[in-house]
Structure 1
Amino acid sequence: MAKISKESARIVEFLEEFVEKIELLSLTMLFKWDKEREYVERYLETTTGGLKNFFKNRAEKGHSASNVVKTEDGGVVNKPAESRRVPSMKRRRAEAGGSGKEKVIDLTSNHCCGKEVSLEEVKLITEKQKKLHGYAGEEDLTSVWSEHFPISVVAEEHFQSKTDLDLIDSVDSVTRAQFMQVYAARLLCIGRYEELKAREEAEQKKKEEGASVQKLVELERKLKVASDQLAVREKEMLELKTDVEGLKGKLQKLDKDKTDLEARVVELAVEKKEAETSKENHGYAMLEIVFERARKQAEFFYPDLKFDNLDPIKVVYNGALVDDDEVDVEGGGDHDLEE
């Protein structure tokens, strides 16, 4: 639609609109569309006036589409088509010379021998039997359905032995007629049996096919259910995969936080050690300050004495200055510690 002209697009839209509403597109309906008539006339290459002239010329030449009869004054009148009545088989038999009261099967009725007869079934049998009850032409002269097959010659050569003829001639014509009727009836019985059997087999096959179709439908339904469940499982797996990816990201972040915390613990341990060392050094510094303050006070009170030998890390032990770590202060009362 994007590649055609604007006029063609309008024509296509018009046709699509009317095809959806009615089954057929008539010229009468076509020319009632007045909004874009010029496009329609250009599409059909005709006009309303041209169409009227066309039908007028046909009427003048006697080629009107309707069944008309000319009158003496030149006018025309419509004449309905003559109906054809198909006489019944009973009537045709009577017209052919029969009395019309013979005991024949009247196929115009839907009942025969106390049973309801389907005329559609009779018609169907007739249509199907046409090939078997006719001739097939001259395509294969060896076929018994060929119109030139020598049936009498074959019967003469193969089915007319003297023994058989004497046997047939030994009985009267009534017996022979009865014999043919009996076998015809038996063949009819067997033929009807085979027909009903074939129908039963066809119905059984149809039921089996229906069961197969039903089974196939059920399998398709189960397949659809399984497909839907599979789609749900795939969606859930995708969501779980997304969750796993998210948890992996969180785990990586936690591992990083753990590494940072471990590094921080090491830093805090170092800081603690430094703080403990700083605390110990601070104690030592305080001890040094107090010792120096005491020494200066002693010098103030005793200016004539020399305090150069004073040492904050020595103690008086057994009349001598010794290092503090050389004296076992906690060893008992045997030691004479002087401060």
Structure 2
Amino acid sequence: MKRRRAEEGGSSKKVIDLTSTKCCGKEVSLDVVNRSIERQKPLHGYMGEEDLTSVWSKHFPMSVLAEEHFQSKTDLELLGFVDDKTRAQFMQVCATRLLCVGRFEELKANSEAEKKKEESSWEQKKLELEKELEAAREHNTLKDKELLELKADHLQLKGKLQKLNKEKTELEARVVELCVQKKKVETSKEDHGYDMLAAGFERARKQAEFLFPDIKFDKLDPIKVVHNGALVDDDEVDLEGGGDHNLVDLSYICKNDWYCILFV
């Protein structure tokens, strides 16, 4: 709301309220108008007696200055030549042009202020982005370092894995070798036991022939057993679930001789 009052000492006081916020079809901010007025107050007033040469001094002789410097004979003749209406129109043109120039300067100042404000805002954003970029670079450097450490650990673990695989292969080969050796030992043990049995059996048979030359020992066989009154292979008795053949009665050969029975 903009108010205009009559002079304090007048007979009547008039108040004009401009409730509309538009002027010439444009939005008007009353705060902006008020700030503009406040800023112009020093220019519209007068100063004291500190500097009498200032054109803002209340004692500055405006009329004297105009008389001495702006009232030449030629100028007065020119101004007197034109009529009052023409001089009024000229002052309106000058005032309008000054208004245009003044508004231009005001808008220019506002534009520069907005530009500086925007530049300051962009500069602030630039600083923030530079900080974020620097933080991202530091984070990236840290991640690169961690990646290098992980690659080194991976290579180390890969080397250990290859070593373990090699040791595993060697151990598997050693197991196979030991299994073969075990099989050989078992086979050799069986063969050795059979050889010992055959050698002992042959030695006993020769001693029996020496002691009893009249008896024939041709039917003796170290791999046969007596089963159901006959000499049979040991495997046949096992397949039949045969009985005890550890004690063999060869009395029909040895004629109840105690030595033969001991031998058997």
Residues 199 and 295 from structure 1, CA distance in 2 versus in 1: closer, same or farther, beyond 3 angstroms? same
Structure 1's consecutive aligned runs of 4 or more residues displaced over 6 angstroms after TM superposition are: none
Alpha-carbon separation, structure 1, partners of 2:106 and 2:181: 108
Between the aligned residues of both structures, percent identity stands at: 50
- Counterpart of 2:143 (choices 205, 210, 233) is 233
Aligned twin of 1:202:
112
- Counterpart of 1:257 (choices 167, 179, 182) is 167
How big is the shift at 1:321?
A: 4.8
Alpha-carbon separation, structure 1, partners of 2:150 and 2:238: 71
Aligned twin of 1:102:
61
Q: Which amino acid aligns with 1:200?
A: N
Aligned twin of 2:24:
none
Residues 280 and 101 from structure 1, CA distance in 2 versus in 1: closer, same or farther, beyond 3 angstroms? closer
Q: Is this contact kept in 1: 2:227–2:237, CA < 8 A?
A: no
Q: Which amino acid aligns with 2:151?
A: K
Q: Secondary structure at the match of 1:90?
A: coil
Q: Is this contact kept in 1: 2:52–2:60, CA < 8 A?
A: no
How big is the shift at 1:199?
A: 0.5
Residues 329 and 182 from structure 1, CA distance in 2 versus in 1: closer, same or farther, beyond 3 angstroms? closer
- Counterpart of 1:90 (choices 49, 53, 65) is 53
- RMSD, aligned α-carbons: 3.6
Alpha-carbon separation, structure 2, partners of 1:287 and 1:181: 153
Q: Does 1:216 align with 2:126?
A: yes
How big is the shift at 1:209?
A: 1.6
Higher RCO (CA < 8 A, seq sep 6+): 2
How big is the shift at 1:314?
A: 3.1
Q: Which amino acid aligns with 2:53?
A: K
How big is the shift at 1:257?
A: 1.3
What is the correspondence of 1:132-151 to structure 2 with a 5 Å cutoff? Answer: none
After superposition, the C-alpha distances for 1:140-186 in whole angstroms (9 at most, x for unaligned) are xxxxxxxxxxxxxxxxxxxxxxxxxxxx95x43xx544444444333
Which protein has the larger Cα radius of gyration, Structure 1 or Structure 2? 2
- Counterpart of 1:280 (choices 187, 190, 196) is 190
Alpha-carbon separation, structure 2, partners of 1:333 and 1:269: 33
The TM-score, its normalising length taken from structure 1, stands at 0.43
| Alignment coverage as a number of residue pairs | 176
User: Mean Cα displacement is larger for which, 197-206 or 237-246?
Assistant: 237-246
Residue ranges of structure 1 left out of the alignment (5+ in a row): 1-87, 92-99, 105-167
Residues 102 and 176 from structure 1, CA distance in 2 versus in 1: closer, same or farther, beyond 3 angstroms? farther
Residue ranges of structure 2 left out of the alignment (5+ in a row): 1-50, 64-80, 250-264
How big is the shift at 1:312?
A: 1.2
Alpha-carbon separation, structure 2, partners of 1:236 and 1:332: 74
Alpha-carbon separation, structure 1, partners of 2:181 and 2:150: 45
How big is the shift at 1:271?
A: 1.0
Residues 231 and 249 from structure 1, CA distance in 2 versus in 1: closer, same or farther, beyond 3 angstroms? same
Q: Which amino acid aligns with 2:240?
A: G
Aligned twin of 1:331:
240
The TM-score, its normalising length taken from structure 2, stands at 0.54
